[in-house]
């Protein structure tokens, strides 16, 4: 086991303690003669899903054990550049201005969390974006593979699925994605059994998701388990709306809505979660949702729950105002008809017959 502990990641204790090395390093929990470590929660099984573990192994296989954080920073940079190129291609193909890709390429959040801090969330965001694009462009099998891999990197990318379900052909992405997700987990389940969940249950409890105290907005109105139930219902309703209203050939607005509402309900406190939202803001042109990424980023540098709550409310105000200003009456009517399952030619209620919905999708 000692051979698996490089000195830069597991330094010796100083006078029998890791106190002088905090906060970057912490005690490994094996006595005064042991080591310190930069690994978060070193005494519990990893929380990372299998695709994240494969990514870690892939990056490290090409460098010596003495290499420190730089390989992951370089890998994060390459993935970020790949997302930029992909966004440019999609924007050009859909006839939208390519400068929108700068919202990702020049984002300080991407530079900080994907490159400097090397969070694996950038891989999940890249795979989720690729999967959504492939499904929208008529490649549901390949899209499902990418989406399954994205979900097996960080579970949260699964929320991009509902907006892709507007036409039957896209449904193939769902079983394919689930199959890929399951296949990636097979080696881990066979080797560890129930322990495959790692520290996930403990993490959810520690972060306050189990008792509902973690939800910065909902918990202000509903206490305890009621907050958890309410958040689940909010996410479910958002999924139905994204499914019913999204244009299958151009699902980006539905995906931005789904991701944004989920984040507003769940209120993550770590800025790297917002990496998932930015590519879909670029593809949809719904720049107002960047206010939510700003709120989450501010929570990372100013850890105040009260301030975070106000930033989230400000983000909601920005989204609502811009949406109301941008959306025409015809769009509201079209959305209403889609939610109610009406065909474009269905008769309207009294008072609306003079101005039928115009399909702008």
- Token pair for 282: 């670029």
Query: pLDDT at residue 330 above 80?
Result: yes
Residue 302: helix, strand or coil by DSSP?
coil
For the cut 60, the answer to whether the pLDDT of residue 112 exceeds it is yes
Residue 283: Cβ within 10 Å count: 27
345 pLDDT higher than 80: no
Per-residue model confidence (pLDDT) at position 118: 92
Which 3 state secondary structure label does DSSP give 260? helix
Query: In which band, very low, low, confident or very high, does the pLDDT at 349 lie, cut at 50, 70 and 90?
Result: very low
pTM metric for this prediction: 0.87
Q: What is the pLDDT of residue 341?
A: 74
In the prediction, which pLDDT does 214 show? 81
Look at 49-53, 118-122, 210-214 and tell me which has the smallest mean pLDDT. 210-214
Q: Tens digits of per-residue pLDDT, 273-305?
A: 999 999 999 999 999 999 999 999 998 888 888
Confidence of residue 332 (pLDDT cuts 50, 70, 90): confident
Which tokens hold the place of 167?
């036409």
The pLDDT value given to residue 33: 59
What confidence tens digit (pLDDT) does each residue in 39-71 have?
A: 877 777 778 899 999 999 999 898 887 888 899
First to last CA, the chain: 58
DSSP conformational letter for 222: S
**Gyration radius of the chain's alpha carbons:** 22
User: Which range has the top average pLDDT, 4-18, 194-208, 221-235, 277-291?
Assistant: 277-291
Q: What is the DSSP string of 95-147?
A: T--GGGGHHHHT-HHHIIIIIIS--THHHHHHHHHHHHHHHHTT-HHHHHHHH
**Cβ atoms of 120 and 18 closer than 8 Å:** no
For position 16, what pLDDT does the model report?
Answer: 79
Q: How many other CB atoms are found less than 10 A from the CB of residue 314?
A: 15
Instruction: Indicate the SS3 state at residue 350.
Output: coil
Q: Give the pLDDT score at 4.
A: 72
Q: Predicted confidence band at 30 (pLDDT cuts at 50, 70, 90)?
A: low
Sign of CA dihedral 161, 166, 172, 175: positive
Task: Give the whole-number percent of the chain exceeding pLDDT 70.
Answer: 91
* pLDDT one-digit tens code per residue, 124-152: 999 999 999 999 998 999 999 999 999 99
Q: How far apart are CA 248 and CA 139, in angstroms?
A: 12
Higher pLDDT, 339 or 49: 49
Secondary structure class of 353 (helix, strand, coil) = coil
The per-residue pLDDT of the chain, averaged, comes to 86
pLDDT at res. 31: 53
């Amino acid at each position: 086991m000692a051979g698996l502990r490089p000195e830069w990641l597991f330094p010796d204790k100083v006078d029998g303690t890791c106190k002088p090395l905090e906060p970057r390093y912490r005690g490994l929990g094996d006595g005064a003669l042991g080591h310190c470590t930069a690994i978060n929660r070193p005494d519990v099984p990893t929380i990372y899903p299998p695709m994240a573990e494969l990514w870690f192994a892939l990056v490290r296989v090409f460098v010596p054990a003495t290499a420190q954080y730089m390989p992951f920073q370089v890998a994060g940079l390459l993935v970020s550049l790949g997302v930029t190129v992909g966004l440019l291609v999609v924007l050009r193909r859909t006839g939208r201005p390519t400068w929108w890709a700068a919202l990702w390429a020049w984002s300080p959040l991407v530079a900080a969390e994907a490159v400097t801090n090397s969070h694996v969330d950038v891989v999940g965001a890249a795979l989720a974006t690729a999967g959504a694009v492939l499904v929208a462009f008529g490649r549901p099998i390949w899209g499902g593979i990418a989406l399954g891999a994205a979900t097996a990197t960080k579970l949260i990318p699964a929320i991009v699925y509902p907006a892709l379900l507007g036409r039957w052909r896209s449904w193939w992405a769902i079983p394919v994605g689930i199959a890929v997700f399951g296949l990636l987990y097979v080696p881990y389940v066979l080797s560890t059994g129930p322990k495959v969940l790692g520290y996930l249950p403990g993490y959810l409890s520690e972060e306050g998701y189990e008792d509902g105290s973690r939800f910065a907005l909902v918990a202000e109105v509903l206490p305890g388990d009621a907050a958890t139930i309410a958040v689940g219902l909010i996410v479910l309703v958002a999924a139905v709306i994204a499914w019913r209203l999204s244009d299958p050939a151009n699902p980006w607005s539905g995906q931005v809505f789904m991701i944004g509402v989920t984040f507003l309900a769940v209120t993550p406190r770590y800025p790297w979660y917002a990496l998932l939202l930015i590519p879909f803001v670029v593809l949809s042109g719904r720049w107002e949702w960047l206010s939510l990424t700003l709120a989450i980023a501010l929570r990372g540098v100013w850890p105040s729950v009260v301030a975070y709550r106000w930033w989230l409310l400000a983000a909601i105000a920005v989204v609502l105002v811009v949406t109301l200003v941008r959306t025409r009456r015809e769009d509201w009517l079209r959305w209403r008809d889609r939610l109610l399952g009406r065909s474009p030619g269905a008769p309207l209620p009294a008072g609306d017959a003079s101005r039928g919905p115009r399909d702008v999708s």
